[in-house]
Structure 1
């Protein structure tokens, strides 16, 4: 029976891997990597750097495949169908890779940024591949350090305050309004700088981009003062690299 490890590899720093993750790496024969093209070639390089850091040379193979294109312009009612089509296309790529590149008794692995349980599609897609019934395998999951954990650590702050909840959401959801009854909100997948909508409120922002990599950027402070700086840093970085991954925490200040 083929076996798959789904390994959380942290936000980019090879030192963020857990000992469990390193053991899973050393148990793997074939690593599957999806290539998003030249613009995000850094992401493939970072994965290879992690392998070189933790594994002896020559004991494994890396198989790359092109990631299917996704309609990122879809909004409203069209958003969920667009994501569903992309996930179906990606499931087809996974299915082919496992069937063609992994022997019947071999072990493969997908290296997942951050933690596989937090805003990542790998687990759902593997379940879809199994449901199709054309290729059989077992899989396990190794948790990783998410960008959320890395963000809090780099800013030396907690995610929640005493007896208060914290909510993790997306920029798309934040655009609909600040969550009810929550004063600490972590925002991921925000391509539209939604934090700007709250620049007139008593909120502090803790922002980070390329967390755990040599290109890491950090900014924090009252959102009215810090938002312009974040926008400038973000624009410069995107112009320089062609892509950006950022995460931030919004924290309402206590009243009175």
Structure 2
């Protein structure tokens, strides 16, 4: 038996209008999960199809894909079957991408890594909302900042008006967010993330800072990244510095979930 039901027009229009507003508000955040970059660790070599190393990776990738990223958005897992067959995999999602959103990014990252670093034993791949780190070594100890694997990207548009003043105020805001990360780490050493917004003249600045859970020197990594983001003479309307240990980003539009 099939039932048919129609809403009165005076009810239907507000619902459609509400749905439009919800869709528009999500789109206006410009939330994406675009591929950013990757690096295959050529010095760690390659594995053969059907090898013990491939079996280990499949197990670890399965764990990463199916984990429960309820709050932290982080997973580190390793496995060893022999001295020659051991691997570690680490996934870190952006602070606003937890739960099912982190699972989605984890699945995309694993697929992307297998495509861009085929048969490589180690490497890293970054997306807008997460990054995946794979290595043939056991990195269960806390990670020192790896300055060789840090990248930067910028908005193509320059800031209008006094660029130096904008850069100074943005750096000051990054420092405020870094203090929030340090403060929250005393109570919860897992979530090393802070974000916010601030008025700078006629513009609203949106920014975030985040460290990976295993990072030993979060404050140092963030301070280095904050300095690096404004090393160019042209001050851009947005930019980010990201790597294995920490990430910072700023824009003149909202790009994070509340």
Asked if Structure 1 and Structure 2 have the same fold, meaning a TM-score greater than 0.5 normalized by the shorter chain, the answer is no
TM-score normalised by L of structure 1: 0.28
**Greater length-normalized contact order (CA 8 Å, ≥ 6 residues apart):** 1
TM-score normalised by L of structure 2: 0.28
Larger Rg: 2
